[in-house]
A and B are shown apart, each in its own frame.
Chain A
């Protein structure tokens, strides 16, 4: 029996059954040191490049839905994107779910950091900065959600209980309150700039600028004015050549306030994963050709505006870099801000290294102009507005009528930021003229309904009805 007994002893040993997860840090092993705190924050930035946050869903909800762009590409290819151009989508349209899930994935990554990093023993000033970065990014994701859906479930910690796992919708005001609190906290901690090896992290200017934008959506004009002036006081400056802003050389330039950082790592295509430019590149030479400029946008530029040619890439055009867009390209126009020259390697696909410009100094200037005009401070408004126009090689505006000036600033905002980071749809809603503008273009926009998107139907079903649908869907 000795062998039997020996075998018994061997398998009896409790440690025989204690096996650690292989090759994966356990919960107790991650977020325990400074390096991991940094890694955690890195992941939140990386999520900004993810497909639903940067590509199809993002473009559908923010840009194709607007008057700036239409679906593009070949007829029949991804025809579901037309659901957004025409406002014929229903709550089961999966793109809505993609957008929703993509933002919440970023929110979870932020919540993990905000929950776990405070307990790490590490450099306290770095810790404070990392937490501020996480708050900035969480606010950014929530801002995307609240603009698109109105009030959404407010998840601010790692959910544990069934109730926390299945939260009801908060009001839009509650969501805005969190965004404002996060951005306020972030702006008080984040540095004005970083060393060369950290360029691209959220700065004080980014937090203040984003806060100004959020306040603008709430029409809190005095605060918008004050916040934009705080940003304008920071060492940002307009670069001379509008076209060059959107080339690789223009990434993180002097007027850049926040950009989604993307690069191609040769041999690591999983990390080289931003498809923002790829899906918009001129089809078939440079990408998939989605989200193409409308005739309406083409016509929106004033004569002599240098931004028109920098924004719209025409069929048959020869670019300054020497690429000729095919005469037989599928579409008449493409988004030139997503253009990456053909000489750039395509090992991981098209244009994966193109940064996405989230906020530039001109947007802050135009917010400043808008707020000043609303507050009757016309001089300030004209001064900021004309700084933007001057760079675009346009004559200064001198009109002082508040209503007229408002429209001019709105128009300036459209052409300055066209096809850049998808503010147009939300701007039109914010400005209260979405129905007017869209219906004039023959879109199927229903006032009282299409100002916000449908809550994804499968999320409502997954919640067992805890989530409620927006009116009209």
Chain B
């Protein structure tokens, strides 16, 4: 038959974007063509031929011509994911060759979350990665990969953006991200040596591709609302409770029950707005590719006056100078402006009595002095009075040069920089708002911060395939220098005219004061890695890193971090060739050693303290004082993590079901631990050093189900769950291990002791409430009053004392899980993500944070003891003394399950958009965190905190649901 020209276009089945350089072959021949930059192809083929479309990362498709001259094809991404390219440290690998535990999340999935921080977007998507959000706009969530890997200093993973180390990702627009890879096990992370103990998150930003310019606009606008509002006692309830308390303490005073009621959260919280716009352009020629993007985000906080504004700009260009020299750069600039809120306002709103009016009849702020119940701030006055603006500009980027020589060698040199300047301005006017919120003189505070770090890395890669042997050898060296400095000045009596008058020169020069802090640290590292595959069946990855850091004393400065990973592609074996049930099966095992250098500087250096508190006065004249007042360890060793990982990856049911499971054992040795210390030394009451070891063991399981990519109804469902158990395996014997805060009165709320999870809650077990004086008489608590907790006498000595305390809760979640699903029906798409945590406790320290006559929750009012027989679980309103000691009443279940993300989209038919010369227009509606189910008596069960002090709720920022409407246009 004669060949006739056939034309058509190849697009991505999901995104509708043109696919470039897709191979179009006539089946059974070597004849064919490639698609151009717009996805179009022309091929001469007989009318009865079959065309084979294949493209890396996509499922191949065979299409009979059937006498047509125009054939449009949609290709679906390869569900097996085995050909997927994943980014590993200092390079990329095909997913099938990976011997460690790496989870990759693509940028397209991140964008569907409408989160403002890229890290929030992976919550519930990666097995074993616990993400704890905070509601504060612009704040970074807390991330724990496979449990708590360190106790002190940085517990967050290492973030690497295009090869540059950064402290967090708050400066990054999620839409700029091509992919995020989470390196979970030691063999994949150990190439980052001393920085990798808490896992590594690699971020690759989008790069331009050769072809016609692509212009994309994505914008959304919406509102944020508090979903789980905490109800406090109203005026009548509060007065009832305080009167009950006064009766109990034999105070004759009584409050009237008919005062007007103030809901302080009404005064402080709001429905907040958010809108975000992003415009990107990319494209290029064979020699030069570029990607430019800009974005603007404006997000109000749920707390009034809290505003966050972020502008980002990014420019990336790669130049292919010659066939073997490539240079390029990537620069991300961000500008952030935040109107912050007074730090204590959420606490103030929780404790301020509801009988306190917002304003008095005379228009002045309601003054706590008028109700004589304690030193409470009027939260509204705090908020109105507060006047602070924070700004920051950050430039993160890198420049690289790459030289390919002798065919198999690539030398790459890369200089990364991370430059941050930020400042804040606070002005407290001369005002008298209430009897405790006043200033006789105005105070202007300005702070300036500058952080400057560079990272220079040189790598040499050798890539070779000899027969059935494939290997890649990497050698590299790296040096890094980080420096920051901060200057804070204050002055009184600057006039309150306008922003233009907030300058130090206008204040009382006698009161000018300056503070200055800074830090500097350096790293030097050498590393190498060999990837080896034999017959694509047996895989070996081994790496070695030799790291030194200025944070350690010179005799303990360097350490070696080795790792090995083994993989076996079972389905490549001859005995598996004849079965079709399992499409792919890989079994892998790895071991490696990691370090944690993210510790404070000068841990081992005794330095003098010249604090203002040490100023002495003689004859009325101030004299500087200084002395040594901290304990330092005699030396400091590297904190190391040794981790073993066993796992398998399986693809089955016709490539539809992907299963990945891992077991790990992660041991942190010589953990740097701040432990309380005997006060008799006079040396600060705590000391840092290598005082503990602990381990995390767990399993992770993830499954993904994909339907046929071509039908008009497609869906995919993913499920992941991880179980982790933390256990302290050693703690220096003469140094004890209490920690935590949140108990009133300096009581220690947590313990980290041998055999139990780090930072376990520790206290009395409540066995009920004393109902009558008779019950008290002869009991183990002779000083108790009816309405007080009855603590369990654990050692049966008929005395309640500290020996009756035990572990009463665990802030480290046992289970974290997520369900992620996507549906496509004709032009509609739907994304539904569910996420949750189970088997975790929270210490609700708010309930016990009582020094005087703080407000109570409605829950407390409803359930309190107020006479014999009224309650055997809640105490009386006279919640004081030993009742405030840490006990099981403060421990609450922290489990939750949440609809993390619900997004419905509609893409206009191409017949319509085609007329407008627009590739695609998609409208979407998005709800983030619309529903969270939990039992906890607080705003949110997401309570973070440092490892030995985690899960203690002291008025965390409320989380909110976000409802957006957006549009995405591809020109």
Given contacts A78-B851, A155-B682, contact A23 B734 (CB under 8 A): no
Quote the shortest CB–CB distance from B828 to chain A (angstroms). Answer: 54
Residue of B621, B851, B852 near A197 (CB, 8 A) is B621
Docked-complex contact B682 and A347, CB < 8 angstroms: no
Docked-complex contact B245 and A76, CB < 8 angstroms: yes
Using CB atoms, name the residue of chain A closest to B622. A265
B737-756 toward A: CB 8 Å interface, digit per residue (1/0)? 01000000111100000000
Given contacts A17-B550, A24-B607, A107-B682, contact A458 B622 (CB under 8 A): no
Docked-complex contact A267 and B460, CB < 8 angstroms: no
Interface stretch (choices A94-102, A182-190, A220-228, A380-388) = A94-102
- A-B pairs with CB below 8 Å: how many? 306
Quote the shortest CB–CB distance from A93 to chain B (angstroms). Answer: 8
Q: Which residues of B contact A47 (CB under 8 A)?
A: 614
A192-205 toward B: CB 8 Å interface, digit per residue (1/0)? 00111111110000
Q: Which residues of A contact B548 (CB under 8 A)?
A: 17
Q: How far is the CA of A105 from the CA of B517 in the complex (A)?
A: 24
Given contacts A75-B249, A77-B375, A108-B629, contact A43 B614 (CB under 8 A): yes
Quote the shortest CB–CB distance from B919 to chain A (angstroms). Answer: 43
Docked-complex contact B747 and A194, CB < 8 angstroms: no
Residue of A26, A43, A113, A155 near B606 (CB, 8 A) is A26
Residue of A7, A14, A458 near B748 (CB, 8 A) is A458
Q: Which residues of B contact A252 (CB under 8 A)?
A: 619
Given contacts A16-B479, A16-B524, contact A101 B605 (CB under 8 A): no
Q: How far is the CA of A458 from the CA of B624 in the complex (A)?
A: 33
Given contacts A42-B625, A46-B613, A271-B622, contact A76 B373 (CB under 8 A): yes
Q: How far is the CA of A416 from the CA of B788 in the complex (A)?
A: 42
Q: Which residues of B contact A461 (CB under 8 A)?
A: 736, 738, 802
B610-647 toward A: CB 8 Å interface, digit per residue (1/0)? 11111111111111111111000000000000000000
Cβ of B881 under 8 Å from chain A? yes
Q: Which residues of B contact A14 (CB under 8 A)?
A: 554
Docked-complex contact B615 and A46, CB < 8 angstroms: yes
Docked-complex contact B607 and A27, CB < 8 angstroms: yes
Docked-complex contact A21 and B679, CB < 8 angstroms: no
Cβ of A74 under 8 Å from chain B? yes
Given contacts A74-B374, A458-B748, contact A198 B736 (CB under 8 A): no
Given contacts A17-B550, A198-B618, contact A100 B679 (CB under 8 A): yes
| Count of residues in A whose CB is under 8 Å from the partner chain | 106
Q: Which residues of B contact A44 (CB under 8 A)?
A: 627
Docked-complex contact B626 and A40, CB < 8 angstroms: yes
Cβ of A468 under 8 Å from chain B? no
Within 8 A of B (CB), among A92-128: 92-94, 97-98, 100-101, 104-109, 111-113
Q: How far is the CA of A140 from the CA of B746 in the complex (A)?
A: 26
Interface stretch (choices B38-46, B210-218, B378-386, B507-515) = B507-515
Cβ of B853 under 8 Å from chain A? yes
Cβ of B458 under 8 Å from chain A? yes
Cβ of A233 under 8 Å from chain B? no
Residue of B436, B478, B512, B885 near A267 (CB, 8 A) is B512
Cβ of A280 under 8 Å from chain B? no
Interface stretch (choices A161-169, A365-373, A394-402) = A161-169
Given contacts A26-B607, A462-B677, contact A50 B613 (CB under 8 A): yes
Cβ of B390 under 8 Å from chain A? no
Given contacts A10-B479, A200-B618, A261-B617, contact A266 B492 (CB under 8 A): yes
Residue of A10, A36, A76 near B374 (CB, 8 A) is A76
A42-54 toward B: CB 8 Å interface, digit per residue (1/0)? 1111110010000
Q: Which residues of B contact A108 (CB under 8 A)?
A: 629, 681-683
Docked-complex contact A11 and B738, CB < 8 angstroms: no
Quote the shortest CB–CB distance from B754 to chain A (angstroms). Answer: 13
Q: How far is the CA of A166 from the CA of B783 in the complex (A)?
A: 33
Docked-complex contact B616 and A261, CB < 8 angstroms: yes
Cβ of A235 under 8 Å from chain B? no
Q: Which residues of B contact A106 (CB under 8 A)?
A: 682
Q: Which residues of A contact B614 (CB under 8 A)?
A: 39, 42-43, 46-47
Docked-complex contact A22 and B520, CB < 8 angstroms: yes
Within 8 A of A (CB), among B836-881: 851-853, 880-881
Cβ of B779 under 8 Å from chain A? no
Q: How far is the CA of A74 from the CA of B368 in the complex (A)?
A: 12
Residue of B490, B612, B678, B801 near A463 (CB, 8 A) is B678
Within 8 A of B (CB), among A266-312: 266-268, 270-271, 273, 284-285, 288
Q: Which residues of B contact A201 (CB under 8 A)?
A: 618
Docked-complex contact A105 and B477, CB < 8 angstroms: no
Residue of A40, A50, A457 near B802 (CB, 8 A) is A457
Q: Which residues of A contact B678 (CB under 8 A)?
A: 165-166, 459, 462-463
Docked-complex contact B625 and A45, CB < 8 angstroms: yes
Cβ of B518 under 8 Å from chain A? yes
Docked-complex contact A97 and B441, CB < 8 angstroms: no
Quote the shortest CB–CB distance from A50 to chain B (angstroms). Answer: 7
A69-88 toward B: CB 8 Å interface, digit per residue (1/0)? 00000111111100100001
Cβ of B32 under 8 Å from chain A? no
Q: Which residues of B contact A288 (CB under 8 A)?
A: 375
Q: How far is the CA of A23 from the CA of B610 in the complex (A)?
A: 10
Docked-complex contact B554 and A18, CB < 8 angstroms: yes
Given contacts A18-B554, A74-B373, A159-B681, contact A4 B460 (CB under 8 A): yes
Quote the shortest CB–CB distance from A131 to chain B (angstroms). Answer: 14
Cβ of B400 under 8 Å from chain A? no
B717-735 toward A: CB 8 Å interface, digit per residue (1/0)? 0000000000000000110
Docked-complex contact B627 and A11, CB < 8 angstroms: no
Residue of B550, B606, B680, B745 near A104 (CB, 8 A) is B680
Docked-complex contact B618 and A261, CB < 8 angstroms: yes
Cβ of B676 under 8 Å from chain A? yes
Given contacts A90-B882, A271-B615, contact A153 B680 (CB under 8 A): yes
Q: Which residues of B contact A262 (CB under 8 A)?
A: 617
Docked-complex contact B510 and A8, CB < 8 angstroms: no
Given contacts A22-B519, A166-B678, contact A267 B490 (CB under 8 A): yes
Quote the shortest CB–CB distance from B876 to chain A (angstroms). Answer: 13
Q: Which residues of A contact B438 (CB under 8 A)?
A: 346
Quote the shortest CB–CB distance from A234 to chain B (angstroms). Answer: 19
Within 8 A of B (CB), among A12-33: 12, 14, 16-19, 21-27, 29-31
Given contacts A76-B249, A97-B746, A166-B734, contact A16 B375 (CB under 8 A): no
Q: Which residues of A contact B557 (CB under 8 A)?
A: 17
Within 8 A of A (CB), among B573-619: 601-602, 605-619
Docked-complex contact A22 and B618, CB < 8 angstroms: no
Query: Which of B554, B611, B622, B677 has the largest count of A CB atoms less than 10 A from its CB?
Result: B622
Cβ of A255 under 8 Å from chain B? no
Residue of A27, A31, A74 near B605 (CB, 8 A) is A27
Cβ of A464 under 8 Å from chain B? yes
Given contacts A97-B746, A101-B685, A113-B627, contact A77 B852 (CB under 8 A): yes
Quote the shortest CB–CB distance from A157 to chain B (angstroms). Answer: 11
Cβ of B439 under 8 Å from chain A? yes
Docked-complex contact B677 and A25, CB < 8 angstroms: no
Cβ of A38 under 8 Å from chain B? yes
Q: Which residues of A contact B4 (CB under 8 A)?
A: none
Cβ of B522 under 8 Å from chain A? yes
A–B Cβ pairs within 8 angstroms, 11 of them: A4-B411, A7-B456, A11-B524, A22-B518, A40-B627, A77-B851, A101-B682, A113-B627, A200-B619, A262-B617, A263-B620
Besides the known contacts A24-B602, A459-B679, 10 further A-B residue pairs in the complex with CB atoms under 8 A apart? A16-B522, A39-B610, A42-B615, A42-B625, A76-B245, A80-B745, A200-B617, A263-B617, A270-B613, A461-B738
Binding site for A on B (CB under 8 A): 242, 245-246, 249, 251, 253, 369, 372-375, 411, 413, 435-436, 438-441, 456, 458, 460, 477-479, 481, 485, 490-492, 508, 510-513, 516-526, 548-550, 554, 557, 601-602, 605-629, 676-683, 685, 733-734, 736, 738, 745-748, 783, 801-802, 851-853, 880-882, 885
